[in-house]
Structure 1
Amino acid sequence: MTVTPEILHPSVRLSLGDWPQVDAKALPEADRAVFQLRSGAVEAYAQGRALTDIETTLGVHRGTVLRMVSRGQKPHHDGRLWGFRALVPRARVEPYRRVAAPQVLTHTKAGNAGAFDQLLQRYPRLYQQLRNELTERRVTLRPSGDGSRLYNVKGAIARFHATCRALGLGATDYPFNQKDRAVRSVGRLLLAWLEDDCSLALRASGARFKPSSALRHTERAALRAYDTVEFDAHKLDLRLKVLLERDPLGGEHVVEMERIWLLAIIDVATRCVLGWHLSLSRECNRFDAIETMKRALLPMHRPELTLPGLQLLPTGGFVTQTFEQTTYACWRQIRLDNARAHLATTSLDVVCETLGCTADFGPAYQPDDRPFVERFFGTMTTTLARRLPGGIDPANLKLAVKRLRDPKDSLQLLVTAQELEELLAMTIWNYHGTPHAGLGGLTPLEAMHQQLAGIRTEPISLRRLHPILRKHPQLLHDPVLCRVRGNLARGERAHISYLHVRYTSDQLTRRPSLLGEHLRVHVDPTDLRTVLATTADGEILDPLLASGAWRTERHSQWLRQAFYKAKRQRELNFAMGEDPIEAFLHLRKREATKRKRAANDVARVQHERVRQIKNTRTHDPVSDSTSIGNSLPEVLAAQLPIGPVKPRKLRIEPGQVY
């Protein structure tokens, strides 16, 4: 075998540092002597010694040296070079390739080495059919004793022979001219494929396996805080109740509601939960995803515990509450799944454009591609959800179904959504102060402190949210174009309409030039009392206030849409001047005893009211997503007229009777 010296010149190509090593002591004595002689000659060649000198001093022919170097430079099937492994006597660096035609063997078995591989090379259809036998799980792998055994191989062999006949192979052709008709070759090939490919073997055995992307921690896992975060939603296996009303004797009238969703964002490097959100809807939507991201950016405060027996660990806390420098800090990359709420245009705009990070969408139905947030959900399930009276354990489904069918099963022991949110806040607070096995015994807050302070590493530089977005969180949502309506001749001042409600402000009424123009309206889905509008030139106007009863009480976009949907379907007898939220709540309470979805609607309204009470008492910017620089009372007071109010003459058109 001739090798070009220029290709294997030691100063250019040959680098023995990349060659896998071999323990010569493990070889037999005769093979060890040959291996050491070959390795010494190759090392001398790599150091720049001439082939004539090597042949004279070591006694290794120059052709053998070049052949050994060429063998060591060939790629191994494990992804590395053959290296010194190619210098071991009788080591095959290339598979055997048969050139001669197979012999007819009807009585013996020997003499046709490589004939089966030759057949597969001539007919790629046979090769693909045998691969499909494993990928489509027509041939399965099952444990047998201390090893494994293939099942349904006879069916695969019958289909293999049928394909051979369809390709035109007759009785005088291989494999039909052999004694065993290549039966053993098919079985050996299938087993060899499973031994070489672990994922294929696990697929054939029906076992659940982690994808290769989940195992590339050195490539994908972030070693720095706020570099990579994971986001996902989890449906809590927990029975919850809704308190409809209390009777004068102190009794509770409760109904059971549907299970709810927990959405969370966790930092990969420190395992800190940056933000979370409870969604009481039947399915998560894009507004829930954006609300979770918003909570991860805005500052948090110490939770107020009202349930007896709850206690916060002194070592725990929230990230933005413990480290003020992390407030409004953005991450570089976020890992998501392929849920529709995540793939929505609004969610992608917030992730990629507004926050300036990249989105890594993992494969469908592969939760192990986001192992950290999935593990956090498992911790919440075992430490919180299943320890409550309404917890549902999938391992004991029969017991759970029996409890559901038991007429004596009392709903009084179940928790409400408000109590669950308080328990969840306490659990996450204590989770941050508990030593974590994945962090070497450090707590998540201690790991975050080391990253921020630069202990044993360089301090990180945080990228913060734009100041305009800090002041106006509504800008995180995509705008809605609304036309400014009004008529100066009729005395109708400028206003816009959004979801059947008029919005206006003192500034907008004094801008008649905006009549007929379209404003970019940014809405906070959790509070529709005010909206933020910008002109076509980018000017941010004062907050526009809702008219009528929709201005007094905090309500979400879902609540208003559900109210007008019930009104269109003639389910509501709503009169002018009546509180629309109370009317809708009274309707859903009547239906809650028969429909769990109605019970969820009641729970959502109650949840919004409890959040408004906490927001009024604590002014928490996390729960008050309508924070726009001024509180709502201040905005209202700023837009009230100052001084005496002049009466205006009432104009009655002719022919009208009032």
Structure 2
Amino acid sequence: MDRDKRKAYLDRKKAVEMCVAGSSNAAIKRACGIGLKQATRLIKERCMLIHADGRIFGFRALVKSLRINPYTRTKPVAIDAFGRGGAGAMSALLSLDPEFKKKLDRKILTGMAKGELTEVKRSRVSLWRWFLDELRARKYEIRREWPFSSEQPGGYAALNRYADSVLKDNPRRLAQDAGGESAVRKLRAGDGVDRPTMRPFQRVEMDGHKLDGRFCVLLPDRDGWVARIIHRLWVTVLIETYSRAVLGYFLSLGREVPKDDVLRAIKSALTRWVPRPVTFSDTAMADGAGLPSVLGDRFVGLCWEETSVDGALAETCRSVKEQLALVVGSDLLEPANSFSVRRSLDDRPFIETFFRTLGDRGLQRLSNSTGASPQARKVVAPDAVAVASQFQYEYLEELLQSLICNYNATPHSSLGYRSPLQMLSYLDDRGTLPQRRADPNLVQGLLTYRKLCPVHGGAGEGRPPYVNFANARYGGPTIRDREDLVGKMVWMSNHLEDDARVARCTLTSGELVGVLRAAPPWDKLPHSLAVRRQIKALEKSKRLKSLGCDAIRAFLQFVETQPNKKLPVHPAYLAVRRVLAQEAQNFEGDRAADRALRTLTGLAPETATQLDEEAKKSSESSLPPPQPPSSPSRKTPSDSATRPSVSRRPLPARRLAEN
């Protein structure tokens, strides 16, 4: 405000303060230039009135020439020949006709009804036409009480101002007009000012993200390998909000994220990180990049207090809640019991920002990307790019590891230009990190499935005792001679998450009976209980005719021998491939992967021998690109020798790393 207005405001303010303090009229007039009577009027008629924000005006009302009450017309509207004399006509019209005012307000505030065909983008011109039609229907024109001039469009501007004021009094409807349902949800979520003060490992945000890319899998064929497009994959991530560090993640191979994959992501955050060998580049990982466990043993198994999720069923199910409470000691914050709102990006700002960064720095830069939205897609046919480049999902696992680990080693402006890992080291030096750590035994049993089952068999049936558990029959030497257990209930536990061929058996008293083995056809190749359930579902639906003596091999053959490859790749097939690849790595090291590489690329015998020697000399050599397991149908060495060579195309990930 200018100098005169500022002086008038300060004089009024001082007069009001002296009036409240009990000063005399002479003292107030001598100090402020106004008397006690005028100061009292300022308090009653201005300062004590209610503002539009719900509070009293207070000292705000003492600004000179500030309008406190809106203009109210006291005389009948009479428009002269020059179109003047209509000030306050809109307010006078609505105050004299309350029924019409309610009808107009309902027209302005009418929202979009779910499941009904309604107008989304409403024009003010259509509202103006409706307004004029209503005035004519109410005989204003016949009674010569028309409130607006026909020469000037003043009525249209007045209606716009009134509609704006009505919408401002209804923020929800105004947000719906401005940004749709997402803006309404953001309005409900709030700005976060009342959330508790953060401290290290007080809150962890967890969510799943559908990756913006198309990938393929190579299936064995008579002429070599055939690339098949797979469904879009998900990644589940846990991020600590104070340090912005990604604690763990897991790449889900199913069409949706199941609860087991959520538990695997939690387990990843509580165990030591073991890096995957990166094959597409020698410089894909920055120095010091990784998950927090690379900083030392003191960062392994750190527990947190709260886990914030968006309300997805896989994240809020009873199993996840119980394991978080038992193993981590964490409360689950979901829309049902916290401030969060379903599908609101503002309730989990850190992880949503991370997902946006993951797309901007990684997958959306590749030509096989689907883009953040259909409008943002830059490549017309990302499926064709994935097939032509043979971008397998195994390469995606390596690329995700590089992107996430490099994120933890990238400086953040909000952390004083420290990286998340540097921030954790800084907090550890100050002694502010939590001292509570998860029990390694409980962490190992996060994915353990337990069920109380009866023991069958025995001398009465003429067969050794056995237990039916998870669609398979379990037995073995440890229970073969236990006739005393027949007819009793025992606890069966799948203690190895990726190997359901064995299960642990204990009595109800807690005494260990031993480890039982699954009977055919589930005793040959390793698999998980989830894979077994999906294979049994295929058998029940008559799509898989027979399991034979090896159910996993029969399932692999079923997927790989589909006529013309019309059916999409089954999610369980990808899970089996991952388990078999891990099993080969554990037992045979890099030599198994080398043999798969030679089979795919058709290397010469002398080159193959050289690779074998190099693999024997150094067990720390980089892992070559993962390849699919061998076809169930056995092929002779001559078949492998005569197989045509398949040229290896440079991966987009390699080109990205080189650039």
- Give TM-score scaled by structure 1 length: 0.72
Are 1:333 and 1:360, in contact at CA under 8 Å, matched by a contact in 2? no
- 2:15 paired with 1:41: yes
- Equivalents in 1 of 2:230, 2:90: separation in Å? 69
Instruction: Please say if residues 482 and 518 of structure 1, whose CA atoms lie closer than 8 Å, have aligned partners that are also in contact.
Output: yes
Task: Provide the rounded CA distance (Å) in 1 between the counterparts of 2:251 and 2:581.
Answer: 14
Aligned residue number for residue 92 of structure 2: 115
Q: Match of 2:233?
A: 260
SS in 1 for 2:334: strand
Do residues 329 (structure 1) and 302 (structure 2) align?
yes
Q: How much identity, in percent, do the aligned residues show?
A: 23
User: Alignment partner for residue 472 of structure 1, among 445, 465, 470?
Assistant: 445
**Which residues of 2 match residues 503-652 of structure 1 at below 5 A?**
503=474, 510=482, 512=484, 515-517=487-489, 519=491, 526-531=498-503, 545-548=517-520, 550-572=522-544, 574=546, 578-591=549-562, 594-595=565-566, 597-598=568-569, 600-615=571-586
Residue 202 (structure 2) aligns with? 227
Residue 172 of structure 1 deviates from its aligned partner by 9.1
Shift in CA distance, 397/80, structure 1 to aligned 2, threshold 3 Å: closer
SS at match of 2:282: coil
SS in structure 2 opposite 1:367? coil
CA distance in 2 between partners of 1:175 and 1:321 (Å): 85
Which residue of 1 is the match for residue 608 of structure 2? Answer: none
After alignment, is 523-532 or 550-559 more displaced?
Answer: 523-532
Kindly provide the amino acid, as one letter, of the partner of residue 268 in structure 1: T
Change (3 A) 1:470 1:292: closer
- Of 426, 444, 467 in structure 2, the residue corresponding to residue 496 of structure 1 is 467
Query: In 2, Cα distance between the equivalents of 1:349 and 1:91?
Result: 60
Q: What's the offset of the Cα at 1:44?
A: 4.1
Matched residue type, 2:409? G
What do residues 59-78 of structure 1 show as CA deviations (whole Å, max 9, x unaligned)? Answer: 65445445545654655445
CA deviation vs aligned residue, 1:415-449 (integer Å, no higher than 9, x gap): 22222112211222222111123333211111222
Note closer, same or farther for the CA distance 1:56–1:379 as it changes in structure 2 (3 Å cut): closer
* Shift in alpha-carbon separation, 1:386–1:521, aligned structure 2, 3 A: same
Within a 5 Å distance, the mapping from 1:387-398 to structure 2 comes to: 387-388=365-366, 390-393=368-371
The DSSP-based 3-state class of the residue aligned with 1:474 is coil
- 2: distance between equivalents of 1:500 and 1:55? 93
Aligned residue for 2:420? 444
Letter in 2 for 1:558: A
Residue from 101, 125, 129 that aligns with 2:102 = 125
Query: Is the counterpart of residue 300 in structure 1 residue 273 in structure 2?
Result: yes
Amino acid at match of 2:295: T
Query: Residue 245 in 1 paired to residue 216 in 2?
Result: no
CA contact (8 A) 1:133 1:156 kept: no
2:642 corresponds to: none
**In 2: Cα distance, 1:72 partner to 1:278 partner:** 61
Question: C-alpha displacement at 1:268, in angstroms?
Answer: 1.8
* AA at the equivalent of 1:243: L
Contact kept, 8 Å, 2:316 with 2:334, in 1: the verdict is no
The one-letter code of the counterpart of 1:58 is A
Partner of 1:381: 359
Q: How does 1:24-173 map to 2 (within 5 A)?
A: 26-27=1-2, 29=4, 31-44=5-18, 48=21, 50=23, 55=28, 58=31, 60-62=34-36, 64-66=38-40, 68-69=42-43, 71-72=46-47, 76-78=51-53, 82-95=57-70, 103=76, 105=78, 108-110=85-87, 114-116=91-93, 118=95, 125-126=102-103, 128-133=105-110, 152-160=123-131, 171=140
Distance in 1, matches of 2:321 and 2:525, equals 31
Q: Which residue of 1 aligns with 2:398?
A: 422
Partner-residue secondary structure (3-state), 1:90 = coil
SS in 2 for 1:270: coil
Contact 1:213 1:369 in 2 (8 A): no
Q: 1:211 aligns to what?
A: 186
Q: Which of 178, 182, 191 is the aligned partner of 2:147? A: 178
Tell me the CA shift for residue 174 of structure 1. Answer: 11
Q: TM-score, normalised to structure 2's length?
A: 0.72
Q: Once the 2 structures are TM-superposed, how far is the Cα of residue 278 of structure 1 from its aligned partner?
A: 0.9
Q: Answer yes or no: is the 8 Å Cα contact 1:276–1:295 preserved in 2.
A: yes
Residue identity in the other structure for 1:282: R
Q: Which residue of 2 aligns with 1:647?
A: none
The 3 A distance-change label for structure 1 pair 258 and 226 is same
The 8 Å contact of residues 303 and 436 in structure 2, kept in 1 or not, is answered as: yes
Shift of 1:590: 1.0
- Please point out which of 319, 337, 347 is paired with 1:346: 319
How many residue pairs were aligned?
566
Q: Quick one: structure 1 residues 487 and 94, their matched pair in 2 at CA, closer, same or farther if it must change by over 3 Å?
A: farther
Kindly report the root-mean-square deviation, in angstroms, between the aligned alpha carbons of the 2 structures.
4.3
Q: From the superposition, tell whether residues 403 and 35 of structure 1 become closer, same or farther in structure 2 (CA, over 3 Å).
A: closer
Q: Give secondary structure in 1 for the equivalent of 2:501.
A: strand
Which residue matches 2:261?
A: 288
Match of 1:278 among 251, 257, 261: 251
Q: 1:301 to 1:617 in 2, by over 3 A?
A: farther
Local SS of the residue matching 2:389: coil
Structure 2 residue runs of 5 or longer lacking an equivalent are 590-659
Mapped contact 1:242–1:599 kept (Cα < 8 A): no
1:235/1:262 contact within 8 Å kept:
yes
Matched residue type, 2:360: T
Partner Cα distance (1:586, 1:497) in 2: 26
Residues 525 and 597 of structure 1: is their aligned pair in 2 closer, same or farther, counting only changes over 3 Å? farther
In 2, the alpha carbon distance for the partners of 1:50 and 1:506 equals 102
State how far apart, in whole Å, the 2-side matches of 1:397 and 1:318 are. 31
| 1:588 shift after superposition | 0.6
2:307–2:332: 8 Å Cα contact kept in structure 1? yes
Residues 54 and 338 of structure 1: is their aligned pair in 2 closer, same or farther, counting only changes over 3 Å?
A: farther
Change (3 A) 1:165 1:554: farther
Unaligned runs of 5+ in 1: 1-25, 141-150, 619-658
CA 1:280–1:114: 2 relative to 1, 3 Å = same
Q: 2:242 aligns with which of 266, 269, 275?
A: 269
Alpha-carbon displacement from aligned partner over 1:445-494 (angstroms, at most 9, x marks no partner)? 1122223332xxx714354335652352235x6x5453444446446565
Query: For residues 112 and 253 of structure 1, what CA distance do their matches in structure 2 show?
Result: 77
- What is aligned with 1:319? 292
